[in-house]
Structure 1
Amino acid sequence: MKYLLLALFSFSGLLANADSLVFEGEAGPGKGKHIVFIAGDHEYRSEESLPALARIMAKHHGFKCTVLFNIDPQTGQIVAGTPSNIPGMEALETADLAVVFLRFQNLPAEQMQHFVDYLNRGGPVVGMRTSTHAFQIPAEQPFAKYSFQSDADDYELGFGHQVLGQTWVGHYGRNHKQSTRITPIEAKKSHPILSGVQDVWVQAGAYVGKPIDGDILTMAQPLEGMTPDSPVVESLPPQPSEWTRTYEAPNGKQGRVFTSLYGTPEDLTNDGYRRLMVNGILWASGLEKAITPDLDISLVGPFQPNTYGNQTHALGIKPEMYEGYESPIPANNNVNQPGKKKKKATAE
Structure 2
Amino acid sequence: VYGVTHLTAADTILLRGAITESLDPASKTLVDDPRNKPMQPLAWLHTYTAPNGKTGRSFCTTAGASLDFVDEDLRRLIVNAAIELTGGQVPKKADVDFIDPFYPTFFCFINDPAYYKTMNMKPQDFGLGKAPHRPDPPGNPAWPYRPTPQE
TM-score normalised by structure 2 residue count: 0.76
Contact 1:315 1:336 in 2 (8 A): no
Residue 216 of structure 1 pairs with residue 20 of structure 2: no
**Unaligned 5+ residue runs, structure 2?**
140-151
CA distance in 1, matches of 2:25, 2:137: 28
1:222 aligned counterpart, secondary structure: coil
Query: What residue in structure 2 maps to residue 226 of structure 1?
Result: 23
Provide the rounded CA distance (Å) in 2 between the counterparts of 1:334 and 1:274.
23
d(CA) in 1 for partners of 2:133, 2:105 = 9
Give the residue type in structure 2 aligned to 1:327: K
Residue among 318, 332, 339 paired with 2:122: 318
Report % sequence identity: 26
**TM-aligned CA distance change 1:315 to 1:335, over 3 Å:** farther
Partners of 2:106 and 2:136 within 8 A in 1: no
Q: TM-score, normalised by structure 1?
A: 0.35
Residues 72-97 of structure 1: CA deviation (Å, up to 9, x unaligned):
xxxxxxxxxxxxxxxxxxxxxxxxxx
Alignment RMSD (CA, Å): 2.0
1:292 alignment counterpart: 91
Do structure 1's residue 242 and structure 2's residue 43 form an aligned pair? Answer: yes
- Give matches, 1:141-160, under 5 Å: none
Structure 1 unmatched runs, 5+? 1-205, 339-348
Q: Is the 8 A contact 1:258 1:280 kept in 2?
A: yes
> Which of these two proteins has the greater Rg computed from alpha carbons?
1
1:336 deviates by 4.6
Aligned pair 1:327/2:111, yes or no?
A: no
**2:69 matches 1:268:** yes
Asked whether the equivalents of residues 266 and 307 of structure 1 are also in contact (C-alpha less than 8 Å), the reply is yes
Superposed displacement of residue 261, structure 1: 0.7
Aligned residues: 128
Residue 212 of structure 1, CA deviation:
2.3
DSSP-derived class of the 2:60 partner: strand
Which of 56, 76, 89 aligns to 1:255? It is 56
SS of the residue corresponding to residue 279 of structure 1 reads helix
Instruction: List aligned pairs for 1:1-348, cutoff 5 A.
Output: 206-210=1-5, 211-213=7-9, 214-233=11-30, 234-235=32-33, 236-237=35-36, 238-287=39-88, 290-311=89-110, 315-323=119-127, 325-328=128-131, 331-337=132-138
Question: Structure 2 counterpart of 1:228, which letter?
Answer: P
